[in-house]
Amino acid sequence: MSEEETGRISSDLLRGHTDTIILQLLSKKDRYGYEVRKAITEKTGERYELKEATLYASFKRLEQDGAIASYWGDETRGGRRRYYTITEKGLDLLKRNKIDWCFTAKIISALLEE
């Protein structure tokens, strides 16, 4: 990706894959909301910042679909954190979405080839 330092990220395109990105992050370990947001900012070298609304909407959607589950952390000082964890269903969804994305990327690249 380093060859395109001058490029800009298409937020629309990325937003469509928020669920998959979150699932990928949760597949490594359980995380709470702000932690996910921070991880995305860091992973993209601060080139992309996820909006709060997008993040929470994604959590709600994924939780309703049973792809992730949530639980309260143990913190007693300050606010309690709500942690999210990926389910079996979520892992399946992640796998499928990754395959679909690779396929899509290949097709689009082929179409845009000069």
**Side-chain half-sphere exposure of 37, counting CA atoms within 13 A:** 14
Which of 43, 56, 103, 105 binds another protein (CB under 8 A)? It is: 56
Q: How far is CA 78 from CA 47, 73, 74, 75, 81, in A?
A: 30, 12, 11, 7, 9
**Of 24, 45, 41, which Cα lies nearest the Cα of 90?**
24
x/- binding map, residues 75-114, to another protein, per CB under 8 A? Answer: xx-xxxxx--------------------------------
Nearer to another protein, 57 or 99 (CB): 57
Residues within the interface to another protein (CB under 8 A): 32-34, 37-38, 51-53, 56-57, 60, 69, 71-72, 74-76, 78-82
